[in-house]
Chains A and B, each alone.
Chain A
Amino acid sequence: MIFHPSLKTISKYLDGLLDEKKKEALDDHLKDCDVCRKKVEFLNKTTEVFQFPDEELRQVSDLIMDKIEKKHAGAAGEYIGRIVSVTGSVFVNNRQKDELQSAFPGISVYRGDTIITADEGKALLALDDGSCIYINKSTELDFSDIKYSAVLDRGEFFAMMKPQKTTFTVNTPAALLNVVGTDFDTVVTDSRETILKVLKGEVEFCTGSHSIPVRRRRQVSTIINQAPVKEKIRNTKSVKGWTNGMDSRNNGGDKGGMFKKILAGLITVIIALGIYYALKSPQTRSVDSRQPADMSFEELYRLNEGEYLRVISPPFIPEREEYYRKEVPYQEGDVATSIYFKWENDQLHMTNRMHGGSPTIESYIYSTTSLQPFRIAGDQDILAKIIEGDFIYRPSVNYEENLEALGELEEIISKAVNRNIRLEFRDAPIKVVVMGDNLKKEYTKGKKLEINIPAKGRQGGSYGGSVTLDYMAKVLGMITGKGVVFDAQARPDTIIVFKIDYHHDDIKKDSQWLFDEFAAQTGLAFNEEERTFSVLFVEAADQQANVQ
């Protein structure tokens, strides 16, 4: 009878931790034992896959040291403060050295640096005197070489300034602001309009011909060469709404300590300075009355307040390709013909894309409303029509209850098919696959289910993730094109980690194997049943009139 060494022994052997005697014994054993030799050979092979040559490590060291040394060269310019929180892409640009660096929590900012936030970026800068400046998206804030001065070229910032010994000045395209001790917000809109909002204290707002003191709860706006307009601020909360949550974010190594100190000492001044678009006309959606070609990517690819859906029809603006290449750097070849974006927390996220084609109305509806395909019915001719463009939607909108959102969807579809379309939710009996509760016993509460289903036949797609069983039903429905619902009697909170390989076309023809395989691995049963669902009917307005 042969005794095989334990894996613990093999493991030590591989790490060179066995004493000489045991090592020899194991070497002898390996000569005769195929099973163990194969194990050792395989595990040896596994050590080869992570080779990282010393040369490359040295290069990385050089790069790091290079960056650190450059930073010190810049430190000759004076230390201003530290960025304590970063959301999205934020950069620090040093003008003299012409060096653009990604910002991270903890990075120092020196005189001569410009902080640049991308369209989804925000940053919180803690100045060395304890003041802090919240920098909104799409902003360029330049800490020019003059002490106590900054230049706002575009975008918005909100500042909470400690009383300054010297006047802190902010230059914008249309005005010069003098701040002594105040809470204020400044915006420079895309049309180069400067808007100053003061929440506390006083800021002097100077243009070529005017000098206006602006006190708390007042705002002033001006465009170059025009007289400033002064107004009351009705809703002060809205002024700094976008800063919510920024200070509670991950602060790197800081653990919030420094930041708390700063806040504690900050009672006096808040400055909010900005140059942006939304604030100018929060209610008007007519901002896009201009031709899309004249609009920037940030203006076009967004949802305004109260807007649920937006379709951007081709021809697309050139910045779209830039955005796309940045988002999917590994994707070679042509840019997607159609892209879905979700608009969440005032940020754009690409969620899906299509190459060489456009979605059908049906696919557009379930992609933007999250309704499962089986809950969309109506005139098949309409549903099969194509809608071209890029699509922005808000996630988690209940189209059944939100009639405004449903109205927008109706308008978009009507426009796409050039016909008056009516959308309505009605109860209807639908044959669906019900995923029932016979979860295998070993999956007790809290344990993750791991499912791996290889493709049957050819493979063209792969779906993976970590979801609740509840959501898994939706995923299966999406893959197979069938209505799959989850029986709520089971444990919907069970987490399932899955990977399913399949071919898009084949699975539509035959999906039984997938359900069988899924059932075999989980113990869950799949039964076809007829149930009543609230279904979104898509019909021509005239046609529906005939039915009733």
Chain B
Amino acid sequence: MENVADGRKDSEIIRLILEGDKEIYRILVERYNSMLYGYALSLCRDHDDARDLVQTTFIAAYNALDRLRDGEAFPKWLSTIMRNNFITIKRKKSLNTVPLDDMVRKGFDPPDEKEIEVLDEEELSRIRNLILSLPEKYREVLVLRYLKEIPYKKIAEFLDIPISTVNMRLTYARKLLLSKAREGDLL
């Protein structure tokens, strides 16, 4: 990724931050922010929400950095923090998902305008929707892969799954996409 140019290991950088060199946290942020954004997008399905989630996650990670035992597990740890944060936010505000209580009743506005707007948009956003409607485990590998062409190996580390599983899920995700595209007259 962009800043791999800085060859230092995550664990070394984290050690330096804890010793007081706060500024080099930037290296970790730049190293993982596209990945984290991809993951955030696959969770929130909304660009702005994803952006906020990325920020919250990095800051939360920074604040708790002294509690990370194995510096090399940093990406995996980030994804866990993000997931937890997302669940907390979702519980509070249900990001772009329709809670049952919010469902339409007689004579009322449909509560999820976002969803309906999307339907009226053009092809690209329909495709985007299609991807975001995939089950989570396929959605996340696909979005991570698409966003910055993140290598399989990094995706595997980040999500804490074997590389072969990444490969399998990507293939299956595309298979699902094709069949959904046929149903939706996109293909």
Contact = CB atoms under 8 A, between A and B. Distances in A.
A65 interface: yes
A10 interface: yes
Given A252-B84, A351-B101, A61 B124 contact: no
B159 to A, nearest CB: 16
B102 interface: yes
Interface in B147-161: 147-149, 152
Contacts of B124: 45, 48-49
A416 to B, nearest CB: 17
A358 B108 CA distance: 10
Interface string A59-84: 01101110111001000000000100
Interface string B53-89: 0111011111110011000000001001100110110
A52 B99 CA distance: 29
B178 interface: yes
- Secondary structure dominating the interface of B: helix
B177 A352 contact: no
Contacts of B37: 52, 57, 60
A465 B59 contact: no
B12 interface: no
A354 B103 contact: no
Interface residues of B, number: 78
A50 B41 contact: yes
A342 B101 contact: yes
B127 A60 contact: no
A152 B28 CA distance: 39
A49 B127 contact: yes
B105 A461 contact: no
B128 interface: yes
Contacts of A64: 29, 33, 54-55, 58-59
Contact of B60 (A105, A373, A478): A105
B33 A250 contact: no
Interface stretch (A35-43, A136-144, A289-297): A35-43
B62 A354 contact: no
Nearest to A252: B60
Interface in A105-124: 105-108
A60 B55 contact: yes
A511 interface: no
A47 B177 CA distance: 12
Contacts of B26: 61, 65
A72 B20 CA distance: 11
Given A104-B56, A106-B60, A60 B81 contact: no
B131 A65 contact: no
Contacts of A367: 105
Contacts of A39: 178, 187
Nearest to B51: A60
Interface string B19-44: 00011011001100110011001000
Given A42-B178, A49-B124, A60-B33, A69 B22 contact: yes
A154 B106 CA distance: 41
Nearest to B65: A253
- The residue among A15, A47, A68 with the most chain B CB atoms within 10 A of its own CB is A68
B116 interface: yes
Contacts of A105: 60, 88
Contact of A357 (B23, B64, B80, B107): B107
11 contacts: A7-B178, A14-B174, A52-B148, A61-B30, A63-B55, A64-B54, A252-B81, A336-B109, A352-B108, A462-B119, A464-B115
Interface of A: 7-8, 10-11, 14-15, 38-39, 42-43, 45-50, 52, 54, 57-58, 60-61, 63-65, 67-69, 72, 82, 86-89, 102, 104-108, 250, 252-254, 257-258, 330-331, 336, 342, 349, 351-355, 357, 359, 363, 366-367, 373, 395, 460-465, 467, 471, 475, 478-479, 481, 504
